Amino acid sequence: MAISPSPFLSPLRLNATANLASAPPPPPPPPLSLPPFKLSTIRRSTTSICSAKTRTEEETREYIERYGLDPKLFLPEPSSKSKRRKGIEKTERRKREPKPERTTHKLLHVLSGTAKRTKLISPTGMDVRPMMEVVKGSVFDSLQSACGCPTALKPGSWLDLYCGTGSVGIEALSRGCAEAHFVEMDPWVVSNCLQPNLESTGFLDSSVIHTTRVENFLERVDGFVGGDKTFDFISVTPPYTAVDYEILMGQISESRIVGENTFIVVEYPLKLDIRGSCGCLVKIIDRRFGRTNLAIYGPDWAQKKRKSKKIQSIREV
């Protein structure tokens, strides 16, 4: 059974309500007096907390960043001595680490001539990038045609810059060149690839190896080849990202090793505009092979001869 509240208020309740209504409101609480915010206080406290011996510098940095603060404001900057010491330690650590052993393979071979089908040693990996065989075959076919002898090269001299395994210069010797000079800066490639290839093909006696940078060879060519020697053929197959082609071609064009009847073979990357002439020589061939471009510079008579052959073939058709 539900009991309804009485409509009559007790005198005590009525008096309490009346007193509350007539009483003045309580005064507001006094404002809190907090000490002024200072970054130095936080810096000292954070630094003292983070400078425990059990924490490393990385852990301290993570600890500070966890609270949304900038570690640069709290961590001391490393001195020049500590930076130098860390650099020395890193260098020594790299020296102590064992270098991966370099290996070789025999996937390349001589295409034509007296050493035809002889396999050549090449290093595994992309440190040395030999000329593709399809490009090499096109180079020598074009040179033999330009010289007027489709079956062999004239018995001249060949300079193989950035030779690596020596596949281009060896191909030239196999096709009739009398001598070849090889320029390679990596002693390991020279001793483990180039020299064994010359021995296996039988061209070691007709070859000269220069273990130096191409830039040094071009600057001091008199000390390397002596006299007023010029080369009949020059091949330039550098690593694409390691050279400036404009500077390199300028050095070659100004060098005395380039004669009036010299042919220069240049392999260059796809997205590059190479110059139209090299000294007294003009560009007679510019072809694309996939991601590789091939340019051949030669004398004017070779270009005229090539144009006349094209006109004759068109008339025959």
Q: What is the CATH number of the domain that holds 129?
A: 3.40.50.150
pLDDT given at position 109: 93
What does the pLDDT average to over 274-284? 92
Whole-number Å distance between alpha carbons of 110 and 168: 9
- Report the SS3 class of residue 306: helix
pTM of the model: 0.67
Would you say residue 38 lies in a domain? Answer: no
Would you say residue 3 lies in a domain? Answer: no
Nearest partner of 133 among 152, 119, 154, judged by Cα? 119
Per DSSP bridges, beta strands 179-183 and 157-161 are: parallel
Residues 82-118 as b/e (b if ≥16 CB within 10 A, e otherwise) read eeeeeeeeeeeeeeeeeeeeeebeeebebbbbebeeb
Would you say residue 146 lies in a domain? Answer: yes
What does the pLDDT average to over 258-265? 94
Whole-number Å distance between alpha carbons of 75 and 58: 11
Which tens digit of pLDDT belongs to each residue from 97-106? Answer: 666 788 888 8
Which tens digit of pLDDT belongs to each residue from 19-58? Answer: 545 556 667 766 655 455 444 444 444 444 444 445 677 7
Whole-number Å distance between alpha carbons of 120 and 194: 9
Average pLDDT of the chain to the nearest whole number: 80
Q: Which range marks the domain in which residue 127 is found?
A: 104-316
pLDDT given at position 21: 52
Would you say residue 24 lies in a domain? Answer: no
Would you say residue 242 lies in a domain? Answer: yes
Would you say residue 272 lies in a domain? Answer: yes
Cβ contact 283:297 at 8 Å = yes
pLDDT interval class at 143 (50, 70, 90): very high
> Does the pLDDT of residue 204 top 90, yes or no?
yes
What does the pLDDT average to over 292-301? 92
Which tens digit of pLDDT belongs to each residue from 61-84? Answer: 787 787 777 877 777 776 666 667
- Our count of domains for the chain comes to 1
Would you say residue 151 lies in a domain? Answer: yes
Would you say residue 157 lies in a domain? Answer: yes
Tokens of 79: 């001195």
Please state, in angstroms and as integers, the Cα–Cα distance from residue 19 to each residue in 14, 16, 27, 307, following that order. 9, 5, 17, 121
